[in-house]
Amino acid sequence: MALKSLLAHTRVQLQNFWTRPISPAPLGIFRIAIAAFALLQALLWLPDWQAFFGTDAWIQWEISHALNLGWNIHMQQVHGFLHALFNTSENQSVGIFFWFYALVLIGLLLGWFTRIWSVLSWFCHYIIMSTIPSFVYGVDIFLHISLFYLMVMPCNKAFSLDLRFKRVSSEPTWGSTLSIRVLQVHLCLIYLSAGYEKMLAADWWDGNVLWRSLVQPDFRQVDFNWLAQVPWLAMVLSWGTMSIETFYCIGMWIPRLRFYWLLGIISLHIGIALFLGLYLFGLIMILLSLSAFGLDVLNDLKLAGQRKREKTRKESFSA
Amino acid sequence: MRKLIYALAFIHLLTIVVVIFHGLDTAARGTWMEKPLAFICSVNYSIWQYGFFSPDVGKSSEVQITVFEDGGKQKAYSTLKGFTFFTSNAESDNRFYAFKHHTNTDTTFRDLCIRSVATRMLNIHQTAWRVDYATRSIRYPNLKDFKAGQKIDTANIFSTTFALK
């Protein structure tokens, strides 16, 4: 009997979790954060754009095209299209593609006819990823995942021109709930995987991987050789990293812990940005966590403040 | 429609779970599933192992490109001595970490890409006639051994020469 009621209770909880309409505000925050991020990345890329995408890039078109899978769309095909329409040269096509990408990201950022811009943003990024597979790393993967989500999620239901011009309603729906939950669960899985894989490597437990990543010349920002004199610190930092990542999927669902866990994950990514020089990677991971759980944390803090005020009022009243 | 969307979302999350716990590592290789999964991955990267790089974070390597020009001039570019592949900021330079990782581990990729890099160097140095490309791995000792004075271990991964004459 007890088991039956427990199962029924769990079913109701699960149903509420996935279907009870919640505010679409996190989706608006997610859209603005990711579009602004992609714009920043594009602007930083601009001086080196031709060196990566031009016909005489570090990896020439013939080679990067040959490395592609059959369905990938390469910059060479974009040039073929633009050349047929406007008779552009290779480098002109690459330049036009850049400004088109920047334009669609601005459209996505403003949230005006959002669906069109979100599909185009994802498509442009798909071409970018297909053209330079050898230069792609974590930041591009997470940006691509985000742009895919923006394409299919109702991200114009908050903080958008679509909403201002009444093209959409800000009413919470099952669609906005499902979208936010998918984003949250996906982030939990990402961190669970990253933390769990670290735990499988003995070098993570004794701090050696963290030490090597701080001192190795590819990422080194400041001299960390002194860390060898205090190996316990490298070990503590490693354990901290593994714990924050692995148990993110628990910490983020407990209101009392959520604020501290978010703070922990933000600190971790600030550390990666400052000490490994992976500024954009650190930034996109912070933005993803803020988009998925930032509003929940804000509500937790408001609620905690309210409770504290009520408690103080009751105490002063009874005194 | 609503049920279909929920089902698709569920399949999407389930795929991620299966992939991150290595459920498809060997099961899909060489089967009919390989191409559809690769296609899904290029669309949304759900077939991506987020933790795959965890043990490799501390690995490092040095690239040295030496350009020989007419008149006996010779210029060596080393990533250990500040060579950043002529990039204008750290974010662009970071992309070469992925490039180095690929060339160190995949020999076919290496053969194709290093040729391309050499061609670019020849384009930059208009009077150059030879380009040497070498990669060395850099392995730091562990904390205990470094404290005890053990040196940083370097080893040649590969080197190649492209000459026009």
Asked if residue B144 and residue B127 are part of one domain, the reply reads yes
Q: Inter-chain contact B45–A41, Cβ cutoff 8 Å?
A: no
Asked if residue B106 and residue B30 are part of one domain, the reply reads no
For the question of whether the overall pTM of this predicted structure is more than 0.90, the answer is yes
Asked if residue B108 and residue B69 are part of one domain, the reply reads yes
ipTM: 0.91
Backbone angles phi, psi at A116, to 5 degrees: -60, -50
Asked if residue B150 and residue B107 are part of one domain, the reply reads yes
Q: Which residues of B touch A175 (CB under 8 A)?
A: 5
What is the residue type of B138? I
Asked if residue B5 and residue B49 are part of one domain, the reply reads yes
pLDDT at A87: 96
Q: What is the pLDDT of residues A205-252, one digit of tens each?
A: 999 999 999 998 888 899 999 999 999 999 999 999 999 999 999 999
In the stretch 76-105 of chain B, residues with CB closer than 8 A to chain A read 79-80, 85-92, 94-100, 102
Backbone angles phi, psi at A230, to 5 degrees: -125, 65
DSSP assigned state of B47: S
Residues of chain A above pLDDT 70, percent = 99
Q: Is residue B42 within 8 angstroms of chain A, CB to CB? A: yes
Mean per-residue pLDDT over chain A, rounded: 94
Q: Is residue A129 within 8 angstroms of chain B, CB to CB? A: yes
Contacts of A96 (CB under 8 A, 6+ apart): A82, A88
Ramachandran bin of A123, using left for φ above 0, alpha for ψ from -120 to 50, beta for the remaining angles: alpha
pLDDT at B37: 85
Q: Token match 């076919």: residue?
A: B108
Asked if residue B106 and residue B67 are part of one domain, the reply reads yes
Asked if residue B66 and residue B32 are part of one domain, the reply reads no
Asked if residue B63 and residue B29 are part of one domain, the reply reads no
Asked if residue B82 and residue B3 are part of one domain, the reply reads no
Full residue range of the structural domain in which residue B65 is found: 58-165
Give how many domains chain B has, as a whole number. Answer: 2
What is the residue type of A3? L
Pairwise CA distance, residues B84 & A105, whole Å: 29
**Final residue belonging to a domain, choices B55, B72, B97:** B55
Q: What is the pLDDT of residues B83-117, one digit of tens each?
A: 999 999 999 999 998 888 888 888 888 888 888 89
Tokens standing for A191? Answer: 């961190």
Q: Which residues of B touch A41 (CB under 8 A)?
A: 91
Tokens standing for A33? Answer: 């954060």
Q: Is residue A228 within 8 angstroms of chain B, CB to CB? A: yes
pLDDT at A99: 98
Q: What is the pLDDT of residues B2-38, one digit of tens each?
A: 999 999 999 999 999 998 888 877 777 778 888 888 8
Q: Measure B33 CA to nearest chain A CA, in Å.
A: 15
In the stretch 141-200 of chain A, residues with CB closer than 8 A to chain B read 141, 144-145, 148, 174-175, 178, 182, 185-186, 189-190, 192-198, 200
Tokens standing for B77? Answer: 């570019």
Pairwise CA distance, residues B103 & A234, whole Å: 30
**pLDDT higher than threshold 80 for residue B43:** yes
Tokens standing for A175? Answer: 């669609």
DSSP string, B91-143: HHHHHHHHHHHHHHH-HHHHHHHHHHHHHHHHHHSTTEEEEEEEEEEEEPPPH
Question: What order do you get walking across the sheet with B74-78 strand by strand?
Answer: B74-78, B60-69, B128-139, B153-163
pLDDT at A19: 93
Asked if residue B148 and residue B76 are part of one domain, the reply reads yes
Q: What is the pLDDT of residues A1-35, one digit of tens each?
A: 688 899 999 999 999 999 999 999 999 999 999 99
Q: What is the pLDDT of residues A154-180, one digit of tens each?
A: 999 999 999 999 999 999 999 999 999
Contact between A8 and A164 (Cβ < 8 Å)? no
Asked if residue B72 and residue B44 are part of one domain, the reply reads no
Asked if residue B120 and residue B97 are part of one domain, the reply reads yes
Q: Inter-chain contact B98–A134, Cβ cutoff 8 Å?
A: yes
Q: What is the pLDDT of residues B131-152, one digit of tens each?
A: 999 999 988 898 999 999 898 8
pLDDT at B46: 83
Q: What is the pLDDT of residues B119-133, one digit of tens each?
A: 999 989 989 999 999
Pairwise CA distance, residues A110 & A162, whole Å: 9
Q: Measure A318 CA to nearest chain B CA, in Å.
A: 52
Which of these, A216, A235, A271, A217, lies nearest to B58 by C-alpha position? A216
